[in-house]
Structure 1
């Protein structure tokens, strides 16, 4: 029985350490307070929030209501210990962001005709394409919404002339959405933090593009939108 208590306390303390790290090691390191803050940032905490709050109560009973050194007023069941250890393991070894990204990434050059890109929107069923220069410099993300707004601005006598219009022409219209880059080896926590920070800054982050080095001008290996983050929640729920 004491072995289960020890395993429980070890896993709990390691999770507590992760929570401190997630929140920049604040002065107030109360477990439940850190849990509350962390659930806004990380899906694994959000999914297991209620469970971890209950485990915190059990931990308090183990630590503060011990009758004597070798006798506890409450002890965890094996399934509780294993559940806590599983959460700890997920925090120790978070999945890579690339697991939740759309890949491979279809992209176009700035000289690509708009009609070609519009055809790809229809055929591929996606809503955005990265645009690069001939020197592989990232220029922006061309979205279907951006194209619609460009067309609305370009109507002349109820006619829009698309002849010769390129991706560069649309991007130059100032409709570039906010994009960030992350290494393809980055964790899902780093990915979630990018979107969370954009919310805090009241800046709508359209997507995070994953490259080998995390630099903008490397080849795109994956692209993640807010819709893709739903996959993270679902995976954690399934586990």
Structure 2
């Protein structure tokens, strides 16, 4: 059994070292201005199921240098999903988006809905869940202190604190499920077709409603056969051939 474990460790260690070597070769080719050759080497690493923000970022940079609009936006978005606050990724994604033909405005969110969504996205689903558990633990702790304490002042303090803890725990739990709901509904994709006719219904005979071009980001709402129902950031919806887009959530 130990021999098998050692063999597996050696195999994965060798694979990792090989990927690092190929990644360095790709970076060297990129710095020499050989962007197509660099992409070939990056693809080798990617095909070995290695996923990292750095790899996606470098692939996007190479595509950007080659004026490949859709792939550059796609891989910057992939990198951003792994490092949401990285300034270099955000800046380069903005440059890539400027190459797109479609200029689509964002549908403004106002009032309470905007505040709740912003508050929900301030933490990840896992962190909201951890916060909920921590607040429940605090509630139990302060309630026990309240129950076994006899001093009036301390008893009042522990009662108020335990009550606030369970209230905040309930709020955190609501945010946890809402965050999970938003994540489940978030199904983004990038248009890869140079030009795609968006239809009113999922068939080629239906009327075209508008045209999208490569690099545009959409949300996939539904799928029927080889068609996907999409929604734009300005609220427009329609059906697009499945082959014209590439999903971002697939790693």
TM-score by length of 2: 0.23
Highest RCO, 1 vs 2 (Cα 8 Å, sep ≥ 6): 1
TM-score scaled to structure 1, two decimals? 0.23
